Amino acid sequence: MKKTEFNFSYEAYKNAEELPVEDARLVEKAIEAAKNAYAPYSEFNVGAAVLLEDERILMGNNQENAAYPSGLCAERVALFYANANYPEQRVKAIAIVALKEGKMVPSVVTPCGNCRQAMLETETRFKKPIRIIMGSQNGFWVVDKAHYLLPLSFTGDAL
Ligand code: THU
């Protein structure tokens, strides 16, 4: 038997002012996106902002549905829009926040498993790590690549 450990680090920032300028700008856009979320069922309004290689920023938000599984998370709305419309552009970063009753939620919003898998696909596709900035009212966490959020992941290599 051989035991292997998987380690990763993340940065924690107390507030948006402490974030690197480029991250803070992306967070602003994610907040803007969250305001347009369609989330009448959960009332959990998520916004995501994607930064492309050419510095373009694209926004997405969660789109819910009366048939619950038909809805989609903010991260995948933003990422799929980016990949659909700018297929040549590498994705550099994504910021994620959530609003409840118009205010940032107290706990850091970490992406769901499906969104992690979608981010990993984009990371693999462009062979470029995606910086993930996750926000809350009480601070921000940042990881340098989607791969950190999905150890032992399934990729196209297995096919
Ligand atoms: N949601 C996102 O959009 N992103 C996340 O990272 C977590 C969850 C959405 C899905 C659903 O519309 C609502 O938040 C509650 O789960």
Q: 100-158: per-residue pLDDT in tens?
A: 999 999 999 999 999 999 999 999 999 999 999 999 999 999 999 999 999 999 998 89
The Å distance, Cα 73 to ligand 1 centre, comes to: 5
Please report, to the nearest 10 degrees, the dihedral formed by the alpha carbons of residues 93, 86, 159, 144 taken in order: -10
The finding on whether 135 has its CB within 6 A of some atom of ligand 1 is no
Instruction: Flag whether 114 is in a domain.
Output: yes
Angle 58-142-32 from CA coordinates, rounded to 5°: 35
127-137 pLDDT per residue, tens: 999 999 999 99
CB under 8 A, 24+ apart: contacts of 2-10: 6/151, 6/152, 8/143, 8/148, 8/151, 9/143, 10/141, 10/142, 10/143, 10/148
Mean pLDDT of 19-35: 98
Specify the pLDDT at position 7. 92
Which atom of ligand 1 is nearest the CA belonging to 71? 12
CB of 74 shorter than 6 A to ligand 1? yes
| Domain containing residue 36: CATH number | 3.40.140.10
State pTM to two decimals.
0.97
| Residue 1 forms part of a structural domain | no
Mean pLDDT, the chain, integer:
97
33 inside domain: yes
Residue 134 falls within a domain, yes or no?
Answer: yes
In a domain, 19, yes or no: yes
**Would you say residue 71 lies in a domain?**
yes
Is position 5 within any domain?
no
Active site residue 5: no
Range of the domain at 114: 11-152
Q: Please check whether residue 144 lies inside any domain of the structure.
A: yes
What pLDDT is stored for residue 52 in this prediction?
A: 98
Q: Is 118 in the pocket of ligand 1 (CB under 6 A)?
A: no
Residue nearest to ligand 1 atom 3, measured at CA: 73
Q: How many domains does the chain have?
A: 1
pLDDT of residue 127: 95
Give the mean pLDDT of 84-96: 98
Q: SS3 of 125, please?
A: helix
Q: Which atom of ligand 1 is nearest to the CA of 64?
A: 12
pLDDT of residue 51: 98
Instruction: Report the separation in Å between the CA atom of 30 and the middle of ligand 1, taken as the mean of its atom positions.
Output: 14
